[in-house]
Amino acid sequence: MTFDKNKIPQATAKRLPLYYRFIANLHASGKQRVSSKELSDAVKVDSATIRRDFSYFGALGKKGYGYNVNYLLSFFRQTLNQDEIVKVCLIGVGNLGTAFLHYNFLKNNNSKIVMAFDIDPAKVGTTVGEVPVYHLDELEKKITGELEVAILTVPAQVAQPITDRLVASGIKGILNFTPARINVPEKIRIHHIDLAVELQALIYFLKHYPLE
């Protein structure tokens, strides 16, 4: 199936991994088909949005029948490049970084942290979650063309200079867990995840928009 990736809204693209995870779980349980309502209840996205998301990719289901689980699984695997391993590096082996290394996206079979960097002598030269930890001074030497994604879990004050080095080393995408708002060239994609802001937003919604 062919479709124009440039016409897929970013909000839809962000929901695709969520759909894929649920479909994979359905497939593992032996379920053959699923309705948009079942998808909606599972992923907490309304049915109309799911149908609209799927419509960008053509006829993924049939009215009155729902969606074929095997077909959806195959489609999303191909669309999300699940058969291609994306190698990731992590900068900053503190508490959060260490948690990432132990987790290492075990439920996501197309991404894997293969190396980490820090400046702490107690961590450099060790392995955490089977991932080798190198000194930050080795960053340019260790990052090669096969690495395009970096996770940033460093103190905010050093986030920008480290980002500059990552960009110069060929990194194309950065997942930023620092509160710093980093400047990058237009060709670099960066996603900011500020846990403190997310927590504050959650508390605000709990107080002002309580669920019945």
Residues placed in the known binding site for NAD(+): 92-97
Mapping DSSP to helix (H, G, I), strand (E, B) and coil, where does residue 93 land? coil
Do 11 and 56 contact (CB within 8 A), yes or no?
Answer: no
Binding site as annotated, residues: 92-97
Give the number of residues written for the chain.
212
DSSP string spanning 6-57?
A: GGS-HHHHHHHHHHHHHHHHHHHHT--EE-HHHHHHHHT--HHHHHHHHHTT
Which residues are registered as beta bridge partners of 88?
A: 113, 149
CA–CA separation, 35 vs 63, rounded Å?
A: 9
Which residues are registered as beta bridge partners of 190?
A: 174
